[in-house]
Structure 1
Amino acid sequence: MWTGTAFALAAGLMWGLVFVAPLLLPEYPPVLLSFGRYLAFGLIALPLAAADRRGLAALSRADWIEALKLSLIGNLLYYLCLAGAIQRAGGPLPTMIIGTLPVVIALVSNRRDAARDGRLPWLRLAPTLGLIAAGIGLVNIGELHALRALGDVDLGRYSSGALLAIGAVACWTWYPLRNADWLRAHADRSPRTWATAQGLATLPIAAGGYAAWLAWQTASDTGFALPFGPTPWRFLGLMAALGLFASWLGTLCWNEASQRLPTTLVGQLIVFETLAALAYAFVLRGSSPPATTIAGIALLVAGVVWALRIRPEPPLAAAEGPPH
């Protein structure tokens, strides 16, 4: 339990970085940030694949198709939505909408995966979900107050950012459930191999998408500096960092957690990503969080700690025993 939690914490610390890049590269379109990040992920996966040839060779055609699906939805589409949301609505609102993932995944997986993982009793789960939801609400209140203090807000742009963040939540509700399905069904396989496989599956899509975007920009003559934008070294450095830490290493740590913890619990541990993203945002601002935000963070942590103390009831098939 605690080893799985440590891996989930490490994944959250690295995934929090993905909320910072769109703020540091505001002039870059979300599609370029998504393709750039996952092109870097795929390139980083190539030498790792060479070192793990045996494990990758053991994957079937169905496994590679699943890796492709996970890469399309959980990687490219998710980050396209998230980067667009952050650039349209700022960092706080998308961060807090993404922060609802622990609640959404817990609600979905507790019904969906009860036969495999056991069922977490709703009455015992409700207080933890309530604490997490209240914490997210308090942080959101504090951030919205700060946003209003900055001046006028373009409501259309702000609303479109919120909708894109909801789309990102949908992508990342689907991803960890399907990813956990594969990992739990292949407990003998290495989470490292599966993370590398997803990087390899992402590479041709990201490379093709980047090339198509360059061709479109060239034909449209938009004036955007090609091929790496107006601040190329910052762009390349951030994409390399996201590809290595947030994509490959973050996925590896999440896979390790997913093999050790019930999906309902590991879903709640995505809250570490929210906490890391908020911490990085305040460091970037050069300010400390208000009291409301601190109280919300405390509730989030309390909810996660409480959730880790809950043990699932045995799966129904096991609980009923063999037929007489």
Structure 2
Amino acid sequence: MLFGTLFALAAGLMWGLVFVGPLLLADYPAVMLSFGRYLAFGLIALPLAWLDWAAVRQLTRADWIEALKLTLVGNIIYYLCLSAAIQRAGGPLPTMIIGTLPVVIAITSNLRDAQRDGRLPWLKLAPSLLLIAAGIGLVNQHELSLLRADPQADLSRYVMGALLALGAVVCWTWYPIRNADWLRAHQDRSPRTWATAQGLVTLPVALLGFGLTWVYFEATQAPWTMPLGPRPEAYVGLMLTIGLCASWLGTLCWNEASQRLPTSLVGQLIVFETLAALSYAYALRGQWPDATTTTGVALLVAGVLWALRVRPEPPDASRATHSGP
């Protein structure tokens, strides 16, 4: 439990970086951010695969197909939706919507995986879910009030940003559950190898997407400098940083956590990503959070600590509890 939680915390710290990327490169379209990030991830995975080649060769054709599905949904499409959402609605609204992932994943996996992981009793789980939900609401209350008070706000852009953020939630509800299925079914495989494999299958997809984007910009005579845009040094540096830290290291840490913890519990620990993203955003602004935000953070942490106290009922006990005499 302790090591699984620490790995989930490390993954959250890494993944929080993806929320500031679209803000630091606000003049770059979302497709450039998504394909650039995963192109970097794929290139970083190449030497890692060479170092781990013996384990990589043991992956079957079915494993590679599963890795491709995971990388398309949980990497490419997810970050495309998230980047576009942040650039259209600003940071607060997408962060609020993505912040519901701990609750959504916990409920989904508790309904789906009780026979494998044991059922987390709803009455014991409810307080942590309520604390997390309340914390997320408080964290975003101040930011949302600023958005509502802005006379220059473009409602249609905010609505589109919200819809894109919901799409990202769907992607990342599916990804950790499906990823945990593979990891739990292959306890003899290294989470590091599985993270590298996802990076390898990401490379051709990102190359294809980047190339198609280049062709589209040229065909439409878009006012855009390909292949690296108007700030190539910043773009390449940030994509490499996010590709290494958020994509490979974050995936590695999350895989380690997924092998150690029940899916319904590890889903709640995505709250660390929300906390990290919020901390980085305030550091970027050079501001301290207000009292409302601080209270929300405290509730988030309290919800996570409460969740760690809950132990799943073994599958047999779970069935006995819910079956009649």
Whether the aligned pair in 2 keeps the contact of 1:183 and 1:255 (CA below 8 Å) is yes
CA distance in 1, matches of 2:241, 2:20: 12
Task: Give the 3-state SS of the residue equivalent to 2:108 in structure 1.
Answer: helix
Does structure 1 residue 194 correspond to structure 2 residue 198? no
Amino acid at match of 2:238: L
Match of 1:213 in 2: 213
Amino acid at match of 2:32: L
Whether the aligned pair in 2 keeps the contact of 1:102 and 1:270 (CA below 8 Å) is yes
Q: How many residue pairs are counted as aligned between the two chains?
A: 320
Task: Give the 3-state SS of the residue equivalent to 2:16 in structure 1.
Answer: helix
Match of 1:275 in 2: 275
Q: After TM superposition, give the deviation of residue 63 of structure 1 in Å.
A: 0.4
Whether the aligned pair in 2 keeps the contact of 1:135 and 1:297 (CA below 8 Å) is yes
TM-score, normalization by structure 2: 0.96
Task: Give the 3-state SS of the residue equivalent to 2:46 in structure 1.
Answer: helix
Does structure 1 residue 262 correspond to structure 2 residue 262? yes
Amino acid at match of 2:220: S
Match of 1:110 in 2: 110
Task: Give the 3-state SS of the residue equivalent to 1:227 in structure 2.
Answer: coil
Q: After TM superposition, give the deviation of residue 164 of structure 1 in Å.
A: 0.3
Task: Give the 3-state SS of the residue equivalent to 2:313 in structure 1.
Answer: coil
Amino acid at match of 2:293: T
In structure 1, stretches of 5+ residues that fail to align are: none
Amino acid at match of 1:213: T
CA distance in 2, matches of 1:158, 1:82: 13
Q: After TM superposition, give the deviation of residue 152 of structure 1 in Å.
A: 2.4
Q: After TM superposition, give the deviation of residue 316 of structure 1 in Å.
A: 2.8
Does structure 1 residue 290 correspond to structure 2 residue 253? no
Match of 1:306 in 2: 306
Match of 2:78 in 1: 78
Match of 1:164 in 2: 164
> Percent identity at matched positions?
72
Residues 124-273 of structure 1 aligned to structure 2 (within 5 Å): 124-148=124-148, 151-273=151-273
Report the aligned-residue RMSD: 1.2
CA distance in 2, matches of 1:316, 1:156: 51
Task: Give the 3-state SS of the residue equivalent to 1:20 in structure 2.
Answer: helix
CA distance in 1, matches of 2:318, 2:60: 30
Match of 2:2 in 1: 2
Alignment deviations for residues 109-147 of structure 1 (CA, whole Å, 9 cap, x no partner): 001000000000000000110100111111121221233
In structure 2, stretches of 5+ residues that fail to align are: 321-325
Whether the aligned pair in 1 keeps the contact of 2:119 and 2:318 (CA below 8 Å) is no
Alignment deviations for residues 198-231 of structure 1 (CA, whole Å, 9 cap, x no partner): 0001100000110111111112211201110000
